[in-house]
Amino acid sequence: MTNNRTRTKFYFGALSLAVILLFVLDIVLGSVYISIREIFNVFFSADKVEPHISNIIINFRLPRACVALLAGVALSVSGLQMQTVFRNPLADPYILGVSSGANLGVALFLLGSSIFSIILPTLVSNFCIASAAFAGSALTLFLVLIVSIRIRDIMTVLIFGIMFSGAATAIVGLLQYMSSESALKTFVVWTLGNLGNATFDEIKIMFVITLTGLTIVIFSIKKLNVLLLGDVYAQTVGVNLRLTRTIIFMSTSLLTGQVVAFCGPIGFIGIAVPHIARMFFRRADHRILVPACILLGANIMLFCDIVSQIPGYNIVIPINIVVAFVGIPVIIRIIFSNKKIINE
Protein backbone atom coordinates (compact mmCIF):
# COMPACT_ATOMS: atom_id res chain seq x y z
CA MET A 1 0.00 0.00 0.00
CA THR A 2 2.61 2.51 1.04
CA ASN A 3 5.31 3.33 -1.43
CA ASN A 4 8.92 2.95 -0.35
CA ARG A 5 8.00 1.41 2.97
CA THR A 6 11.18 -0.65 2.88
CA ARG A 7 13.32 2.39 2.16
CA THR A 8 11.81 4.17 5.15
CA LYS A 9 12.47 1.17 7.37
CA PHE A 10 16.05 1.01 6.12
CA TYR A 11 16.63 4.68 6.94
CA PHE A 12 15.20 4.26 10.42
CA GLY A 13 17.45 1.24 11.01
CA ALA A 14 20.54 3.04 9.72
CA LEU A 15 19.82 6.18 11.74
CA SER A 16 19.30 4.15 14.93
CA LEU A 17 22.65 2.45 14.42
CA ALA A 18 24.26 5.83 13.76
CA VAL A 19 22.92 7.15 17.08
CA ILE A 20 24.60 4.28 18.94
CA LEU A 21 27.81 4.74 16.98
CA LEU A 22 27.97 8.51 17.52
CA PHE A 23 27.10 8.11 21.19
CA VAL A 24 30.07 5.76 21.64
CA LEU A 25 32.31 8.03 19.55
CA ASP A 26 31.27 11.02 21.64
CA ILE A 27 32.51 9.15 24.71
CA VAL A 28 35.68 7.90 23.03
CA LEU A 29 36.79 11.18 21.49
CA GLY A 30 37.86 14.15 23.54
CA SER A 31 40.77 16.29 24.59
CA VAL A 32 42.36 13.43 26.53
CA TYR A 33 43.08 10.27 24.55
CA ILE A 34 41.44 7.24 26.14
CA SER A 35 41.53 3.86 24.40
CA ILE A 36 38.37 1.90 23.71
CA ARG A 37 39.69 -0.93 25.90
CA GLU A 38 39.97 1.44 28.85
CA ILE A 39 36.48 2.75 28.25
CA PHE A 40 35.17 -0.80 28.06
CA ASN A 41 36.88 -1.56 31.35
CA VAL A 42 35.32 1.45 33.05
CA PHE A 43 31.84 0.11 32.38
CA PHE A 44 32.07 -3.63 32.20
CA SER A 45 35.13 -4.91 33.95
CA ALA A 46 36.46 -4.99 37.45
CA ASP A 47 39.97 -4.52 36.05
CA LYS A 48 41.85 -1.70 37.52
CA VAL A 49 41.26 1.55 35.69
CA GLU A 50 43.11 4.67 36.67
CA PRO A 51 40.73 6.83 38.72
CA HIS A 52 41.24 9.95 36.62
CA ILE A 53 40.29 8.00 33.49
CA SER A 54 37.12 6.63 35.01
CA ASN A 55 36.40 10.10 36.39
CA ILE A 56 36.63 11.63 32.91
CA ILE A 57 34.39 8.97 31.41
CA ILE A 58 31.76 8.70 34.14
CA ASN A 59 31.57 12.30 35.29
CA PHE A 60 32.32 14.21 32.13
CA ARG A 61 31.93 12.40 28.83
CA LEU A 62 28.99 10.10 29.61
CA PRO A 63 26.73 12.85 31.03
CA ARG A 64 27.73 15.15 28.19
CA ALA A 65 26.79 12.56 25.56
CA CYS A 66 23.46 11.92 27.34
CA VAL A 67 22.68 15.63 27.43
CA ALA A 68 23.59 16.02 23.74
CA LEU A 69 21.26 13.16 22.85
CA LEU A 70 18.34 14.45 24.90
CA ALA A 71 18.78 18.06 23.80
CA GLY A 72 19.00 17.06 20.13
CA VAL A 73 15.81 15.02 20.35
CA ALA A 74 13.87 17.63 22.31
CA LEU A 75 14.80 20.61 20.12
CA SER A 76 14.22 18.81 16.82
CA VAL A 77 10.78 17.53 17.72
CA SER A 78 9.80 20.94 19.13
CA GLY A 79 10.93 22.63 15.93
CA LEU A 80 8.90 20.23 13.82
CA GLN A 81 5.78 20.93 15.88
CA MET A 82 6.21 24.69 15.61
CA GLN A 83 6.79 24.60 11.84
CA THR A 84 3.59 22.61 11.44
CA VAL A 85 1.44 24.65 13.82
CA PHE A 86 2.57 27.99 12.42
CA ARG A 87 2.75 26.61 8.88
CA ASN A 88 6.04 28.43 8.56
CA PRO A 89 9.27 26.77 7.43
CA LEU A 90 11.34 29.20 9.47
CA ALA A 91 9.55 28.61 12.77
CA ASP A 92 11.73 27.18 15.53
CA PRO A 93 11.22 25.94 19.11
CA TYR A 94 11.87 29.43 20.45
CA ILE A 95 9.16 31.07 18.38
CA LEU A 96 6.85 31.11 21.38
CA GLY A 97 9.44 33.11 23.30
CA VAL A 98 10.61 30.27 25.54
CA SER A 99 14.29 31.12 25.15
CA SER A 100 13.69 34.83 25.67
CA GLY A 101 11.81 34.01 28.86
CA ALA A 102 14.68 31.79 29.98
CA ASN A 103 17.20 34.47 28.99
CA LEU A 104 15.33 36.95 31.10
CA GLY A 105 15.23 34.55 34.04
CA VAL A 106 18.96 33.90 33.88
CA ALA A 107 19.81 37.53 33.25
CA LEU A 108 17.73 38.62 36.25
CA PHE A 109 19.50 36.03 38.36
CA LEU A 110 23.11 36.51 37.15
CA LEU A 111 23.15 40.17 36.25
CA GLY A 112 20.59 41.26 38.79
CA SER A 113 22.62 39.79 41.61
CA SER A 114 25.71 41.56 40.30
CA ILE A 115 23.90 44.88 40.09
CA PHE A 116 22.75 44.51 43.67
CA SER A 117 26.26 43.31 44.62
CA ILE A 118 25.22 39.92 45.88
CA ILE A 119 28.13 37.54 45.57
CA LEU A 120 27.14 34.16 44.21
CA PRO A 121 29.01 31.08 45.34
CA THR A 122 30.12 29.28 42.17
CA LEU A 123 28.89 25.84 43.25
CA VAL A 124 25.22 26.70 43.73
CA SER A 125 25.02 28.88 40.69
CA ASN A 126 24.73 26.09 38.11
CA PHE A 127 21.53 24.66 39.46
CA CYS A 128 20.30 28.15 40.25
CA ILE A 129 20.90 29.23 36.65
CA ALA A 130 18.89 26.22 35.47
CA SER A 131 16.10 27.06 37.89
CA ALA A 132 16.08 30.71 36.82
CA ALA A 133 15.94 29.65 33.17
CA PHE A 134 13.16 27.18 33.82
CA ALA A 135 11.18 29.75 35.77
CA GLY A 136 11.55 32.15 32.83
CA SER A 137 10.40 29.47 30.36
CA ALA A 138 7.46 28.51 32.56
CA LEU A 139 6.34 32.12 32.80
CA THR A 140 6.49 32.40 29.01
CA LEU A 141 4.53 29.18 28.59
CA PHE A 142 1.88 30.50 30.93
CA LEU A 143 1.55 33.75 28.96
CA VAL A 144 1.47 31.97 25.61
CA LEU A 145 -1.23 29.59 26.81
CA ILE A 146 -3.40 32.45 28.02
CA VAL A 147 -2.99 34.24 24.71
CA SER A 148 -3.58 31.12 22.58
CA ILE A 149 -6.72 30.19 24.49
CA ARG A 150 -8.16 33.67 24.11
CA ILE A 151 -7.06 34.38 20.55
CA ARG A 152 -8.16 32.31 17.62
CA ASP A 153 -5.81 33.59 14.94
CA ILE A 154 -2.47 31.79 15.01
CA MET A 155 -0.63 34.75 13.45
CA THR A 156 -1.67 36.91 16.39
CA VAL A 157 -0.15 34.33 18.72
CA LEU A 158 3.02 34.49 16.62
CA ILE A 159 3.20 38.27 16.81
CA PHE A 160 2.63 38.09 20.55
CA GLY A 161 5.57 35.67 20.82
CA ILE A 162 7.81 38.04 18.88
CA MET A 163 6.74 41.06 20.92
CA PHE A 164 7.28 39.19 24.16
CA SER A 165 10.78 38.21 23.00
CA GLY A 166 11.48 41.83 22.12
CA ALA A 167 10.42 43.06 25.54
CA ALA A 168 12.48 40.35 27.28
CA THR A 169 15.53 41.19 25.16
CA ALA A 170 15.20 44.85 26.03
CA ILE A 171 15.16 44.11 29.74
CA VAL A 172 18.13 41.75 29.33
CA GLY A 173 19.95 44.53 27.46
CA LEU A 174 19.35 46.94 30.30
CA LEU A 175 20.60 44.40 32.84
CA GLN A 176 23.70 43.74 30.74
CA TYR A 177 24.41 47.44 30.50
CA MET A 178 24.22 47.86 34.24
CA SER A 179 25.98 44.73 35.43
CA SER A 180 29.58 44.01 36.33
CA GLU A 181 32.08 42.62 33.83
CA SER A 182 32.43 39.20 35.42
CA ALA A 183 28.68 38.67 35.69
CA LEU A 184 28.31 39.80 32.10
CA LYS A 185 30.88 37.26 30.97
CA THR A 186 29.11 34.46 32.86
CA PHE A 187 25.88 35.46 31.18
CA VAL A 188 27.38 35.64 27.68
CA VAL A 189 29.00 32.24 28.15
CA TRP A 190 25.63 30.86 29.22
CA THR A 191 24.01 32.16 26.03
CA LEU A 192 26.62 30.28 23.98
CA GLY A 193 25.27 26.99 25.28
CA ASN A 194 26.97 24.20 27.18
CA LEU A 195 26.21 20.51 27.09
CA GLY A 196 28.62 19.73 29.93
CA ASN A 197 26.96 21.49 32.85
CA ALA A 198 24.32 19.01 33.86
CA THR A 199 24.85 16.62 36.77
CA PHE A 200 23.47 13.11 36.84
CA ASP A 201 20.49 14.22 38.90
CA GLU A 202 19.79 16.95 36.39
CA ILE A 203 20.08 14.47 33.53
CA LYS A 204 17.46 12.35 35.26
CA ILE A 205 15.18 15.38 35.30
CA MET A 206 15.93 16.03 31.62
CA PHE A 207 15.20 12.42 30.77
CA VAL A 208 11.82 12.44 32.52
CA ILE A 209 10.79 15.76 30.96
CA THR A 210 11.93 14.69 27.48
CA LEU A 211 10.01 11.44 27.79
CA THR A 212 6.88 13.26 28.99
CA GLY A 213 7.14 15.80 26.17
CA LEU A 214 7.70 13.10 23.57
CA THR A 215 4.73 11.08 24.82
CA ILE A 216 2.51 14.14 24.34
CA VAL A 217 3.98 14.66 20.86
CA ILE A 218 3.34 11.04 19.87
CA PHE A 219 -0.29 11.38 20.87
CA SER A 220 -0.48 14.62 18.81
CA ILE A 221 0.86 13.06 15.59
CA LYS A 222 -2.55 12.61 14.02
CA LYS A 223 -3.53 16.19 14.83
CA LEU A 224 -0.24 17.58 13.54
CA ASN A 225 -0.89 15.87 10.21
CA VAL A 226 -4.26 17.52 9.82
CA LEU A 227 -2.87 20.90 10.90
CA LEU A 228 -0.68 20.82 7.76
CA LEU A 229 -3.81 21.70 5.79
CA GLY A 230 -4.50 24.76 7.92
CA ASP A 231 -7.02 25.67 10.59
CA VAL A 232 -10.14 25.47 8.41
CA TYR A 233 -9.57 21.93 7.22
CA ALA A 234 -8.35 20.80 10.63
CA GLN A 235 -11.58 22.04 12.20
CA THR A 236 -13.89 20.59 9.57
CA VAL A 237 -12.44 17.10 9.96
CA GLY A 238 -13.10 17.31 13.68
CA VAL A 239 -10.07 18.86 15.42
CA ASN A 240 -10.67 21.01 18.48
CA LEU A 241 -8.18 23.73 17.54
CA ARG A 242 -7.73 25.50 20.86
CA LEU A 243 -7.27 22.31 22.85
CA THR A 244 -4.89 20.88 20.26
CA ARG A 245 -2.81 24.04 20.14
CA THR A 246 -2.64 24.24 23.91
CA ILE A 247 -1.39 20.66 24.12
CA ILE A 248 1.20 21.23 21.40
CA PHE A 249 2.43 24.47 22.97
CA MET A 250 2.69 22.70 26.30
CA SER A 251 4.85 19.86 24.99
CA THR A 252 7.03 22.29 23.02
CA SER A 253 7.60 24.50 26.03
CA LEU A 254 8.40 21.53 28.24
CA LEU A 255 10.88 20.06 25.77
CA THR A 256 12.51 23.37 24.88
CA GLY A 257 12.39 24.86 28.37
CA GLN A 258 14.41 22.05 29.91
CA VAL A 259 17.07 22.24 27.19
CA VAL A 260 17.44 25.99 27.71
CA ALA A 261 17.54 25.48 31.47
CA PHE A 262 20.32 22.90 31.47
CA CYS A 263 22.24 23.73 28.27
CA GLY A 264 21.44 27.35 27.44
CA PRO A 265 19.60 28.56 24.34
CA ILE A 266 20.92 26.18 21.68
CA GLY A 267 19.91 27.48 18.27
CA PHE A 268 19.55 26.18 14.71
CA ILE A 269 19.00 22.49 15.55
CA GLY A 270 15.29 23.03 16.07
CA ILE A 271 14.86 24.81 12.75
CA ALA A 272 17.27 22.72 10.63
CA VAL A 273 16.60 19.13 11.69
CA PRO A 274 12.91 19.01 10.62
CA HIS A 275 13.98 20.15 7.16
CA ILE A 276 16.74 17.56 7.01
CA ALA A 277 14.12 14.96 7.98
CA ARG A 278 11.83 16.11 5.17
CA MET A 279 14.65 16.09 2.62
CA PHE A 280 15.67 12.62 3.76
CA PHE A 281 12.30 10.91 3.89
CA ARG A 282 10.42 13.04 1.32
CA ARG A 283 7.20 12.82 3.28
CA ALA A 284 5.10 15.29 5.23
CA ASP A 285 3.45 12.58 7.34
CA HIS A 286 4.26 13.12 11.02
CA ARG A 287 4.09 9.38 11.65
CA ILE A 288 7.39 9.39 9.76
CA LEU A 289 8.68 12.89 10.56
CA VAL A 290 8.43 12.62 14.37
CA PRO A 291 10.60 9.49 14.66
CA ALA A 292 12.84 10.90 11.91
CA CYS A 293 13.37 14.10 13.92
CA ILE A 294 14.06 12.10 17.07
CA LEU A 295 16.77 10.05 15.34
CA LEU A 296 18.26 12.83 13.21
CA GLY A 297 18.20 15.28 16.12
CA ALA A 298 20.11 12.86 18.34
CA ASN A 299 22.63 12.13 15.58
CA ILE A 300 23.27 15.73 14.65
CA MET A 301 23.61 16.95 18.22
CA LEU A 302 26.03 14.14 19.08
CA PHE A 303 28.01 14.98 15.94
CA CYS A 304 28.11 18.66 16.89
CA ASP A 305 29.28 17.74 20.37
CA ILE A 306 32.11 15.62 18.96
CA VAL A 307 33.17 18.49 16.71
CA SER A 308 33.00 20.98 19.56
CA GLN A 309 35.53 19.02 21.59
CA ILE A 310 38.16 18.78 18.82
CA PRO A 311 39.97 15.52 19.67
CA GLY A 312 43.49 16.09 20.97
CA TYR A 313 43.06 19.77 21.80
CA ASN A 314 42.42 21.01 25.28
CA ILE A 315 39.57 23.27 24.31
CA VAL A 316 35.81 23.01 23.93
CA ILE A 317 34.15 25.32 21.44
CA PRO A 318 30.77 26.56 22.73
CA ILE A 319 28.09 24.31 21.25
CA ASN A 320 26.08 27.16 19.74
CA ILE A 321 28.99 28.05 17.48
CA VAL A 322 29.33 24.49 16.13
CA VAL A 323 25.56 24.16 15.77
CA ALA A 324 25.44 27.42 13.80
CA PHE A 325 27.95 26.10 11.29
CA VAL A 326 25.96 22.91 10.85
CA GLY A 327 22.54 24.60 10.81
CA ILE A 328 23.14 27.67 8.68
CA PRO A 329 23.91 25.81 5.41
CA VAL A 330 20.63 23.92 5.80
CA ILE A 331 18.65 27.10 6.40
CA ILE A 332 20.31 28.80 3.43
CA ARG A 333 19.36 25.82 1.31
CA ILE A 334 15.75 26.24 2.40
CA ILE A 335 15.76 29.91 1.47
CA PHE A 336 17.36 29.33 -1.92
CA SER A 337 15.42 26.24 -2.90
CA ASN A 338 12.84 27.52 -5.34
CA LYS A 339 10.07 25.25 -4.11
CA LYS A 340 8.36 26.80 -1.20
CA ILE A 341 7.64 24.45 1.64
CA ILE A 342 4.38 25.98 2.59
CA ASN A 343 2.66 28.48 0.39
CA GLU A 344 -0.55 30.21 1.24
Binding site residues, another protein, CB under 8 A: 1, 3, 218-219, 221-222, 225-226, 228-230, 232-233, 235-240, 278, 281-285, 287, 339-344
Residue 238: CB minimum distance to another protein, A: 3
Residue 278: CB minimum distance to another protein, A: 5
Choose between 22 and 217: whose C-beta lies nearer to another protein: 217
- Cβ 98 vs Cβ 140: under 8 Å: yes
Choose between 12 and 127: whose C-beta lies nearer to another protein: 12
Q: What angle do CA 56, 59, 64 make, to 5 degrees?
A: 95
Residue 263: CB minimum distance to another protein, A: 30
| CB proximity list for 77: less than 8 A, separation 6 or greater | 213, 214, 217, 255, 290, 293, 294, 297
Choose between 37 and 282: whose C-beta lies nearer to another protein: 282
Residue 237: CB minimum distance to another protein, A: 4
The closest alpha carbon to 264, from 81, 71, 80, 135, belongs to 71
Distance CA 306, CA 311 (A): 8
Distance CA 145, CA 216 (A): 16
Choose between 296 and 323: whose C-beta lies nearer to another protein: 296
Distance CA 148, CA 102 (A): 20
- Cβ 23 vs Cβ 69: under 8 Å: yes
Residue 301: CB minimum distance to another protein, A: 24
Residue 234: CB minimum distance to another protein, A: 9
- Cβ 327 vs Cβ 301: under 8 Å: no
Rg (CA), the chain: 21
Choose between 70 and 276: whose C-beta lies nearer to another protein: 276
Choose between 61 and 286: whose C-beta lies nearer to another protein: 286
